[in-house]
Amino acid sequence: MRTASQLLASKSAEIISIGPDAPVFEAIRLMAERGVGALLVMDGPRLVGILSERDYARKVVLQGRSSKDTPVRDIMTAEVKTVAPGDGIGHCMALVTNSRIRHLPVVQQGEVVGVLSIGDLVKAVIEAQQQDIEQLQRYIAS
């Protein structure tokens, strides 16, 4: 199966992020503009958290906070699960499944090199299964 690095090579290299002191309103606006469900929270080059729509719903909406007055750092998930570029898709899928997360930053030597979504991983698994099926069909036919 393919690696995280190989999956990243087939998608945009852009990393969409926001600073920890930005208002949550700005983060939600950025997510809507870019059509993403999560943002990396970066303090300069350092990954300090991740902010998802789920964080917003549970920590702002349900708690009656103001998204214009609440900084991202107050609602972000600080303990971010990450993978290395050489990690396989199976490992990545197990991590998102067991951790109940949808976005997985790929980090190499402390630097974020990309983000994989659960959609990216599912697509890769389906492609790999399709290739296996085609190979088996060719083997059976020969």
* Local structure of residue 74 (DSSP, 8 states): G
Residue 71 has pLDDT above 90, yes or no: yes
Give the C-alpha separation, 3 to 85, whole Å: 7
**Would the pLDDT of 41 be above 90?**
yes
Most confident of 11-15, 56-60, 103-107: 103-107
**pTM score:** 0.86
* 88 Cβ contact partners less than 8 Å away, ≥ 6 residues apart: 1, 2, 3, 4
29/135 Cα distance (integer angstroms): 46
Number of domains in the chain: 1
More confident call, 114 vs 65: 114
pLDDT category at 62 given cuts 50, 70, 90 is: confident
- Name the residue range of residue 33's domain: 4-141
- 27: domain CATH number is 3.10.580.10
Separation of alpha carbons 76 and 20, rounded Å:
8
